[in-house]
Amino acid sequence: MSSDKIQSVSEDELIKTFMNRNSGGILQVISRYVSLGKVGSKYVGLCPFHLEETPSFTVDDTAGVFHCFGCLLSGNVGNFSDLAKSRNVKPIGTR
């Protein structure tokens, strides 16, 4: 799938698609909000839910989950989307 096509798909469509699968889509949703870098088999970045200087937010694409070791929030792609909406977290590029 091209990046142009990925960007044109709504977040709700992505979530519905990936909730029906165990993994694979969580990176596409979370990377809209967090700049992630690969460290080993996981992806790491600054948590969008609290202020921090050292990355403590991890995404395990294989398991389809995220976890922040700073604020202890964790879950799947649906949980992340709900938290982002309820906490008014803006996607990268719209901040």
pLDDT of 16-26, one tens digit each?
665 555 445 89
Q: Between 8 and 33, where is the model more confident?
A: 33
Question: What's this model's pTM, rounded to 2 decimal places?
Answer: 0.76
Q: Between 51 and 14, where is the model more confident?
A: 51
- At 1 the pLDDT is 45
**Closest to 93 in 3D by CA, of 30, 40, 33:** 33
pLDDT-derived band at 8 (thresholds 50, 70, 90) equals low
pLDDT of 84 over the 80 cut? yes
> Per-residue pLDDT tens for 72-83?
999 999 999 999
Q: Cα(34)–Cα(17) distance, rounded to whole angstroms? A: 20
**Closest to 34 in 3D by CA, of 55, 15, 62, 13:** 55
